[in-house]
Structure 1
């Protein structure tokens, strides 16, 4: 009896009666329900959380600023991950089969890479924005204008889309690995093989912006510490209105930098396991078990759901905006001029 069950589980296929069908790894009903709940929750948080971020910034006029437009564009990338990537990856992860066709597999992989790299580029530009804001808060509005923000947003979208499209639709990613691709090619699978050269390129695309962010936020931390000491000295003396204004501006920009610094750290923690796993896997002959890959993959996906939670935790204006939106008050014509700041 046990032998028969074991044999049945080994021979279970994604598509019965189809030649070269991929072998399906079965999960118990309880395990499948738990996985669907966990992955589905991540997708819903990514979709609705980032939708709230986009609605808040675009609707309330008080939030219309170059920095917030960058945050909105970042939320759009995370929203697309939750809407177009995570649901299909959820079925693939739980069912261990791809039921959506080979062409959509390529499109899904292209969107996955494009939107995730777009998030990374947005965070890199946001760190540059915060560095300018903290180091030169009074001249910052003249340096980081709406047009500059628009250029940063354009680069953050165009480069990842062009790069991902070129890699996945030209076939250059699996050059020299034709035998392995042929061996892995089965009906019901969606495993994109990337050779060592392109894995290194992917790693550099992750490593270089991440290094830039680490350097900039390290400098921001040093400058913020120096500014805090100056503000304490100003507070202990009779200070002019000009000095008081400088102190308030510096304090506000440091707080914003701290919040976005947490966002960057969360991104690196989420994506580092996946980046290291793909790098090691490419040079070790793709021997990593599927479940390890799926765990690393979903850690990365969940980052798209984390950013709205971080904003809700650190931004009082975002919490107030959520209350207005969820209560339906934002449908009133005058709601766009509501003050979201306490000071």
Structure 2
């Protein structure tokens, strides 16, 4: 049983507490099943993102601005799978916080930083695709590798600084409100949650949706021009163009839908006028839906590319260990 309210907040003025709780053990079968599922999801997330990192880092043909964004995104998602997922899984399986007061303060910071960085990279990717489709002639001059690297550094810096300011008091004195070991719970007040909703979700989500819709409209118009130009000489061009339109619509729809499915539920308490707390009975589901986006990201942003499938074959067959393998033709 809880001996006192347990609270931790992302925002100054809302306190961190660690309380003592009588540990409620799960049956061995359920515990083993949950640990197996946790290990599988974490391992899958790490493996998929590691394949993206190795592919882009090793093969010279993949050293492009767009792929550099994918590489940095994969790094943030890799950390989520390697550190955040196991710790969050341990929190819910064991029903008791066993990592101490310091980790109670550091774990949310790392988690928020990685998820914020992942979200920021998705926004950068949407901007990159917008410029590539809507301004192809000037794309190579506007989007250079150095500029992309600077944007990535700014994205990471903003994520670290933003969440560092939010948790400054907790990081400096993580045990100032702690009376004993036990359960570490995060509570975000409705006001703070609403502000975070706009800064961390509504703003980036709006940018992504607007840019992707613009990309879709331009892509469809370009395909229709190609269709009209080739219809007179090749009657099969129209079905091909229509298939391309459907493919473009499906890909963009998957990107936006999966993102919204993973992140929208987390902000339900703020939208419903409630405090966001890990003590909520359904918070575990909301949190894991958002974390699963790190597992889905490499599928969305990498598996749709043929070069990724070729790179996987070279990696799994250990052909990347051969001399001059980094010069292999992937594209």
Indicate whether the TM-score tops 0.5: yes
Q: Counterparts of 1:1-343 in structure 2 under 5 Å?
A: 21-171=20-170, 187-204=181-198, 205-236=200-231, 259=251, 262-277=254-269, 279=270, 283-284=273-274, 290-311=280-301, 313-341=303-331
| Length-normalised TM-score, structure 2 | 0.82
- Give distance in 1, aligned partners of 2:248 and 2:115: 23
Is the CA contact 2:127–2:211 (under 8 Å) kept in the aligned structure 1? yes
- Give distance in 2, aligned partners of 1:62 and 1:113: 33
- How far 1:258 moved relative to its partner? 6.9
Q: Deviations over 1:272-305 (max 9, x none)?
A: 111223x257x43568864410111111111111
Change in 2 beyond 3 A, CA 1:96/1:288:
closer
- Give distance in 2, aligned partners of 1:201 and 1:170: 19
Structure showing greater relative contact order (alpha-carbon pairs closer than 8 Å, 6 or more residues apart)? 2
- Give distance in 1, aligned partners of 2:187 and 2:151: 31
- Give distance in 2, aligned partners of 1:270 and 1:61: 33
| Length-normalised TM-score, structure 1 | 0.80
Structure 2: gaps of 5 or more residues: 3-17, 235-242
- How far 1:133 moved relative to its partner? 0.6
Q: Deviations over 1:55-87 (max 9, x none)?
A: 101111111100110111011110111112111
SS at match of 1:23: coil
Change in 2 beyond 3 A, CA 1:108/1:20:
closer
Change in 2 beyond 3 A, CA 1:336/1:237:
farther
Change in 2 beyond 3 A, CA 1:47/1:234:
same
Structure 1: gaps of 5 or more residues: 1-9, 12-18, 173-180, 240-250
Is the CA contact 2:185–2:277 (under 8 Å) kept in the aligned structure 1? no
Change in 2 beyond 3 A, CA 1:255/1:155:
farther
Q: Deviations over 1:177-220 (max 9, x none)?
A: xxxx97x9752212123333332221112110001101111111
- Give distance in 2, aligned partners of 1:192 and 1:142: 45
Greater per-residue helix proportion: 1
Aligned residues: 303
- Give distance in 2, aligned partners of 1:325 and 1:303: 24
- How far 1:307 moved relative to its partner? 1.7
Is the CA contact 1:134–1:257 (under 8 Å) kept in the aligned structure 2? no
Look up the match of 2:15: none
